[in-house]
Amino acid sequence: MSQYDVIVIGSGIGGLSAALTVARAGKSVLVLEAERQFGGFINPFARKKFWFDTGIHYVGEMGEGRSLYRQFENLGLLDDLEFRELNPQGFDRYVFPDYEIRLGNSLDDFHHQLSRDFPSEQNALNKFFKRFKEIDRSLRDLQKRKGLWATISLLPKIPLLLRYKGYTYKQLLDQYFVDPRLKAALSGPGGDIGLPPGSAAALVMIGIIAHFSRGAYYPIGGSKKVRDTYVEHLEKNGATLKRRSPVEFIALKDGKATGVRTKTGENYQAPVVISNASALHTLRDMVGYSELPKRPVEKMRRSRYSIGSVCVFVGTSQQPNEFGLDDANIWNYPSYDIDSLYRPVLEGRQMEEMAFFLTVPTLKDPHANHAPQGKHTVELITFAPWKAFEPWNDQPVLKRDADYMKLKNEVGQRLLGAAEKYLPGLEARAEVIEISSPLTNSSFANTPDGSIYGMDHIPSQIGSGRWGTRSPIEGLLLCGADSMGGGIAPCVTSGTAAGELAIHMLKKR
Ligand SMILES: Cc1cc2nc3c(=O)[nH]c(=O)nc-3n(C[C@H](O)[C@H](O)[C@H](O)COP(=O)(O)OP(=O)(O)OC[C@H]3O[C@@H](n4cnc5c(N)ncnc54)[C@H](O)[C@@H]3O)c2cc1C
């Protein structure tokens, strides 16, 4: 069969959510994935009986009735997919040279801890958190809006959002606080978008802290279970899924999308095509700038993509709880000046002082099969520049030369060395060590410049600065990190919204 109601390009969580929305409405849907496995950043991998997650370490809003919970529920997934709440007293540890604070499932607790530790800033903290909550409420109302009247009722709140839309987080923090240590403590979660306070959009930082401050959760069975549950439900609902099917171009007739052609030579037709690939790859490579009006081309050319990563995946017999680790993630910052930690990477050089993320999936989900009995997986992430790895981009995946391996291993070794602060003997006790680079992200998820969070979350690239679900081409919709934002929750939201829009467009035909 080559004719479908909807074709979805890419099977990241955004594409899977779009396809499942369409399939559950009884429409025929074809998912085309370029890679050998479905899932994009939620595709796990295995080494010697150890399973590793790539792009899910925690999500917020999974308490019963919360926004991400409702979306999974509406997709019919929650009979088969369960999430475990991480330490409510502190699932994120922000560790600085001589200070540490945890974020748990209460914003008020976070506020109180900071007031205790920075008493001279108490009044400023009260004012900041009051404003924080107002912004959070407005952002949530904006997400909930459906229809004209709801949007109009929101208008009185919009000035608040408009006021801060152009702010970096640093600009917001500087309006309230003096102590650089306090500003750093409030910037700890910035790693979730890979940006320091001087670049991150203030509204996104507030959105992230608020997202997690209602509790953090981990999928039981890891990203593998999430990916497999989506695929099973898609198949049960009659969807067709094809791997190793990279889409080469989107066919257009009279300026409208009519189908796709794969690099392997297959043609498929559908009145609606949803792309879960990056906006850059979709609009520049699969549509072609010559088919687009001038403004979207300029917008695309101006776009800046997020940072790349080096990750070290360790399978070990070491017992992380013996060193005081629990299911909390660690964000390690060797300086309070987070902007200067990121600066080399944002300028295309390696990080000088190693800021990194450390997580132990086997402590978050002790009963799943991440590791053989009694063993653990440890995952380390640091940020790394595309430029340093780009010279090897044209070499075949998994067969890159010795110089590439040397560079990748050097960064990986530095990261392992830095993590010994929390897990002494980590490298010596490792049974498996696998290192990824920005080229891995580019090769396995086709992200521009090995970016891990889609288009950067800087003030000019949030809200209308992103793409939303409508592309400049009729019949072509977008979902995933470039649509509404990077991270699991925004990608599920954009996928579901693109799927609903596709159903609406089919009804109108
Ligand atoms: C190391 C890391 C840690 C992260 N941790 C978290 C976390 O703890 N919590 C959280 O919320 N988020 C986290 N994220 C972010 C989150 O994983 C991503 O934002 C999200 O998974 C991206 O989903 P997506 O829908 O944009 O699709 P992607 O995962 O980017 O997948 C896109 C898919 O499209 C396919 N594709 C591209 N081009 C084509 C083509 N031409 N033809 C066919 N298929 C194509 C790709 O192969 C890929 O499978 C993390 C990301 C990384 C990398």
Q: What does the domain layout of the chain look like in residue ranges?
A: 6-83+220-303+457-508, 89-214, 307-449
Pairing of strands 240-242, 430-436: unpaired
Tokens of 93: 């540890």
Pairing of strands 272-275, 6-9: parallel
Tell me: pLDDT of 150 over 70: no
Tell me: pLDDT of 148 over 60: no
Tell me: pLDDT of 151 over 70: no
Tell me: pLDDT of 153 over 80: no
Tell me: pLDDT of 44 over 70: yes
Tell me: pLDDT of 155 over 80: no
Pocket of ligand 1 contains residue 481 by CB under 6 Å: yes
Closest CA to 68 of 207, 273, 235: 207
What is the Cα gyration radius of the chain? 22
Separation of CA 386 and ligand 1 centre (Å): 17
Among positive and negative, which fits the CA dihedral 267, 268, 269, 272? negative
Pocket of ligand 1 contains residue 502 by CB under 6 Å: no
> CA 106 to CA 212: how far, in whole Å?
9
Q: Please tell me the predicted confidence (pLDDT) of residue 367.
A: 84
Instruction: Give the lowest-confidence range in 148-162, 178-192, 313-327.
Output: 148-162
Q: Please tell me the predicted confidence (pLDDT) of residue 145.
A: 62
- Kindly state the percentage of the chain with pLDDT values over 70: 97
> CA 344 to CA 411: how far, in whole Å?
14
User: pLDDT tens digits for 260-294?
Assistant: 999 999 999 999 999 999 999 999 999 999 999 99
Tell me: pLDDT of 71 over 80: yes
Pocket of ligand 1 contains residue 41 by CB under 6 Å: yes
Separation of CA 12 and ligand 1 centre (Å): 5
Which value, to the nearest 10 degrees, does the dihedral of the CA atoms of residues 248, 250, 253, 256 take? -170
Q: Please tell me the predicted confidence (pLDDT) of residue 6.
A: 98
447 close to 436: Cβ distance less than 8 angstroms:
no
> CA 387 to CA 350: how far, in whole Å?
10
Tell me: pLDDT of 242 over 90: yes
Tell me: pLDDT of 466 over 80: yes
Q: Please tell me the predicted confidence (pLDDT) of residue 57.
A: 96
Instruction: Give the lowest-confidence range in 6-20, 61-75, 153-167.
Output: 153-167
Tokens of 448: 């521009």
Task: Tell me which of 138 and 491 has the higher pLDDT.
Answer: 491
- Measured from the Cα of 57, ligand 1's closest atom is 8
Place of tokens 């590439």: 404
User: pLDDT tens digits for 380-432?
Assistant: 999 999 999 999 999 998 899 999 999 999 999 999 999 999 999 999 999 99
Q: Whose CA is nearest to atom 28 of ligand 1?
A: 12
Q: Please tell me the predicted confidence (pLDDT) of residue 146.
A: 58
Helix (H) or strand (E) run with residue 218 in it: strand 216-219
CATH class of 6-83+220-303+457-508: alpha beta
Pocket of ligand 1 contains residue 18 by CB under 6 Å: no
> CA 503 to CA 505: how far, in whole Å?
5
> CA 343 to CA 349: how far, in whole Å?
8
- Residue 215, sorted as left (phi over 0), alpha (psi -120 to 50) or beta, turns out to be left
> CA 310 to CA 232: how far, in whole Å?
31
Q: Please tell me the predicted confidence (pLDDT) of residue 267.
A: 98
> CA 427 to CA 420: how far, in whole Å?
8
Pocket of ligand 1 contains residue 311 by CB under 6 Å: yes
- How many other C-beta atoms lie within 10 A of the C-beta of residue 101? 19
Q: Please tell me the predicted confidence (pLDDT) of residue 154.
A: 64
Pocket of ligand 1 contains residue 222 by CB under 6 Å: no
- Measured from the Cα of 245, ligand 1's closest atom is 43
Q: Which residue intervals of 294-398 are DSSP H helices?
A: 294-302, 338-346, 361-364, 386-389
181 CB burial (10 A radius; 0-12, 13-18, 19+): middle
If pLDDT is split at 50, 70 and 90, which confidence band does 252 have?
Answer: very high
Tell me: pLDDT of 156 over 80: no
- Measured from the Cα of 453, ligand 1's closest atom is 19
Across the chain, mean pLDDT equals 95
Beta strands in 243-369 (DSSP E): 247-253, 256-262, 267-269, 272-275, 308-316, 329-332, 356-359
If pLDDT is split at 50, 70 and 90, which confidence band does 211 have?
Answer: very high
Q: Which of 7, 20, 41 to mutate to test the pocket of ligand 1 (most atoms within 8 A of CB)?
A: 41
Compute the average pLDDT of residues 86-109.
Answer: 97
207 close to 214: Cβ distance less than 8 angstroms:
no
Pocket of ligand 1 contains residue 208 by CB under 6 Å: no
Task: Tell me which of 156 and 470 has the higher pLDDT.
Answer: 470
Q: Whose CA is nearest to atom 21 of ligand 1?
A: 41
Separation of CA 481 and ligand 1 centre (Å): 7
If pLDDT is split at 50, 70 and 90, which confidence band does 160 have?
Answer: confident
- Measured from the Cα of 286, ligand 1's closest atom is 41
Q: Please tell me the predicted confidence (pLDDT) of residue 144.
A: 73
Q: Please tell me the predicted confidence (pLDDT) of residue 149.
A: 62
- Residue 259, sorted as left (phi over 0), alpha (psi -120 to 50) or beta, turns out to be left
Q: Please tell me the predicted confidence (pLDDT) of residue 337.
A: 98
Angle at 465 between CA 460 and CA 466, to 5 degrees: 125
Pocket of ligand 1 contains residue 35 by CB under 6 Å: yes
Pocket of ligand 1 contains residue 56 by CB under 6 Å: yes
Q: Please tell me the predicted confidence (pLDDT) of residue 140.
A: 87
Q: Which of 42, 227, 276, 437 to mutate to test the pocket of ligand 1 (most atoms within 8 A of CB)?
A: 276
Tell me: pLDDT of 207 over 70: yes
